[in-house]
Amino acid sequence: MRRTMLFMPGSKPGNLLNGDVYGADSIIIDLEDAVALAEKDSARILTKHAMRTFHYDCELIIRINSLTTPFWQADLDAVIPEKPDVIMPTKIYTADDIRTIDAYITEIEKAHGMEAGGVKLLPLLETAASIEHAFEIATASPRMVGLYLGAMDLALDMKATRTHEGYDIAYARSRLVIAARAAGIDALDTPYTWDIHDNDGLAEETRMVKNMGFNGKACIYPGQVEVVNDIFSPTKERYEWALAIVKGAEEAEAQGKGVVAVNGELVDGPVIIIARNTVAEYEKINGVHRS
């Protein structure tokens, strides 16, 4: 579950210390854009020690510098032995980029006696080429767990102008969701960067991308986490609706019936699947254990 992925600079000890207290499903420690060129080394060392020292109560993702820089291998050398959950490669163009990173991670895993393939990949698609190659990228490695849209760099590469309504990235969003879904992995949306305190604007955009099929959205400010989590979480009412359908389906199955009726209405297959997903999601978020 990745409703929210909260960014924090790898160069800020205070942020690293408290990264997991805001309720985000994942935190992304950033070694790329949030870290000045002169601080790349120190951020890498700090991140490595933070990973050794702190026990984050959520998924840990490390965003590394791109293949076009001299830093990406050093980033991986430093963090892979500390066993992050996920690596987020940046400025990906093609599936070959993923394979290059995958191979390098495998070398490090072998060198440190780690299980091969344990560290997953969730690349940032922020070039026009990567959008065009989205499905190939999504299926380039068994490590792949999702695709994440990077709107700012993508708009730059497209020579587009970022718009609040998201017209500029509408196609990219759609393409990324389809590719991720076709590959059976997560689709994660770009953060809301217009005004970090504008929770109404954030909520509106989050509802839109949820309706498009995204699993979650990155956050660049702790105050955004709760808003996004709420929208990507089933409500109690929705859970109760779904639970009634799931129970109806279970009863029908037990009785050998092919048709499921809940509250007098027939329910078909896709709705049952949605209901099962909703029940599972709600119970995971809220720690509900049904007997």
Partner 1 sequence: MKGKLVASIEEAIRLCGLKDGMTVSFHHHLRDGDQVLPMVMAKIEELGFHDITVSASSIHGSHGCLADMIKSKVVTGIDTNFIHKCVGTTISEGYLETPAIFRTHGNRPHALATGEAHIDIAFIAASAADCQGNMNGVDGPSAFGPMGYAFADAQFADKVVVITDYLVDYPLTPISIDERYVDYVVKVDSIGDTSGIASGITTISKDPIGLKIAKTAVQVFENSGYFEDGFVYQTGGGRTSLATTKFLKEAMDRRGVHGACILGGINGLFIDLLEQGYFNKIVDTQCFDLKAVESLKNDVRHQEIACGHYADMCAKSCVAAHLTTVMLGATEIDTEFNVNIHTDSNGLIMGGSGGHTDIAYGAKLTVIVTPLLRQRRAAVLDRVGTKSTMGDTIDVLVTQRGIAVNPKHQGLRERLLDAGLPVKDIHELRKMARDLTGEPKPVAFTDKVVAKVYGYDGKLNDVIYQSKG
Q: Rule CB under 8 A: which residues touch partner 1? A: 17-18, 21-22, 53-54, 197, 221-223
For the chain, the C-alpha Rg in angstroms (whole number) is 20
Beta strand extents in the chain (DSSP E only)? 4-9, 26-30, 59-63, 86-88, 120-121, 124-125, 146-149, 186-189, 216-219, 260-262, 265-267
Alpha-carbon distance of 288 to 193, in angstroms, equals 34
Which of 81, 222 has the CB closer to partner 1? Answer: 222
Both tokens of 145, joined, read: 């767990």
Least Cβ distance, residue 18 to partner 1 (angstroms):
6
Alpha-carbon distance of 222 to 218, in angstroms, equals 11
Which of 237, 268 has the CB closer to partner 1? Answer: 237
Least Cβ distance, residue 125 to partner 1 (angstroms):
28
Least Cβ distance, residue 7 to partner 1 (angstroms):
13
Count of other CB atoms within 10 angstroms of residue 52: 9
How far from chain centre, in Å, is Cα 164? 22
Least Cβ distance, residue 145 to partner 1 (angstroms):
27
Which of 174, 286 has the CB closer to partner 1? Answer: 286
What does the angle CA 39 – CA 68 – CA 14 come to, to the nearest 5 degrees?
A: 25
Least Cβ distance, residue 54 to partner 1 (angstroms):
8
Least Cβ distance, residue 222 to partner 1 (angstroms):
4
Residues in a beta bridge with 8: 29
Which of 22, 192 has the CB closer to partner 1? Answer: 22
Alpha-carbon distance of 124 to 135, in angstroms, equals 13
Which of 14, 70 has the CB closer to partner 1? Answer: 14
Which of 17, 274 has the CB closer to partner 1? Answer: 17
Alpha-carbon distance of 234 to 99, in angstroms, equals 36
